[in-house]
Amino acid sequence: MILDLFRLDGQTALVTGASRGLGATMAEALAQAGADVILVARGDLSVTAKLVEAAGRRAFTFSADQASRPSIERLCAALGDSLPLPDILVNNGGTIRRANFTEFSLTDWDEVLETNLTAPFRLSQRVAAAWIAAGRGGKIIHTASMLSFQGGVRVASYTASKSALAGLTRLMANELAAKSINVNAIAPGYMATDNTAQLRADPVRNQAILDRIPAARWGQSADLAGATVFLASRASDYVNGHILAVDGGWLAR
């Protein structure tokens, strides 16, 4: 049956940035599809853990700061040791900083690049190498952005990181597809999350964005659930290096 291809029974997924927002929704969706979930974030993971457990799956929690290389290395070391080696890796954790380009600080540049690009690179490297050594495949999903396609304004490090993440997705697919490792990304459109709170609070910017979205609404985290399960499942076994926009039609406008 076709719906069986979307089931994740017997698998384990790792989701970064899982304490709230998009990451919490992705984790819950994967659990509802049958996967146990390793939840990673620097914030409180108890609420998301309860969502996973309510779906009848096991929740593992690990506190890590993606802006800290030692913290990510501790997570890498724990995989296959105190934590299961996942079958699915969702690199969702990210951050954003806003300032005019000529005033953008190196501190904000470094923190965003470390969080949004270097941490996903390192986690993917660790997990993919373990899969290859074990002779098994897996699924890697990055969270990209509309700014993987566009320039944006006042978010230099975010645009740079998300554009690079799209390129990394394609590079990884080129190298790993023949090893039964699927690497793809989801590019959320303008979503009602903490990262967009400033935009939604500005009446002019909020209306300008809504006028550009054919669906005429901000996206909700639940809009990513189906795309996440699809890219994590056997239903996407021949999908490689794709950036799936979930944007209400933003890019089509």
Is 253 domain-assigned? no
> In sequence order, what are the beta bridge partners of 141?
90, 184
Q: Examine residue 41 and state whether it is found in any structural domain, yes or no.
A: yes
Residue 163 in domain:
yes
* 251 assigned to some structural domain: no
Q: Is the pTM of this model over 0.95?
A: yes
Instruction: Supply the residues annotated as catalytic.
Output: 158
Answer whether residue 241 is part of any domain: yes
Q: Quick: pLDDT tens for 92-124.
A: 999 999 999 999 999 999 999 999 999 999 999
Q: Is residue 25 part of a domain?
A: yes
Q: Are 98 and 154 in contact (CB under 8 A)?
A: yes
**3-state class of 139 per DSSP?**
strand
- Asked whether residue 136 is domain-assigned, the answer is yes
- CATH classification of the domain holding 85: 3.40.50.720
For strands 12-16 and 138-143, give the pairing. Answer: unpaired
How sure is the predictor about 88, in pLDDT bands with cuts at 50, 70 and 90? Answer: very high
pLDDT tens by residue, 126-170: 999 999 999 999 999 999 999 999 999 999 999 999 999 999 999
* Count of Cβ atoms closer than 10 Å to residue 99 Cβ: 14
Residue numbers of the domain that contains 156: 2-246
- Domain membership of residue 9 (yes or no) is yes
User: Facing residues of 245 across strands?
Assistant: 187
pLDDT for res 195: 78
**Total count of domains within the chain:** 1
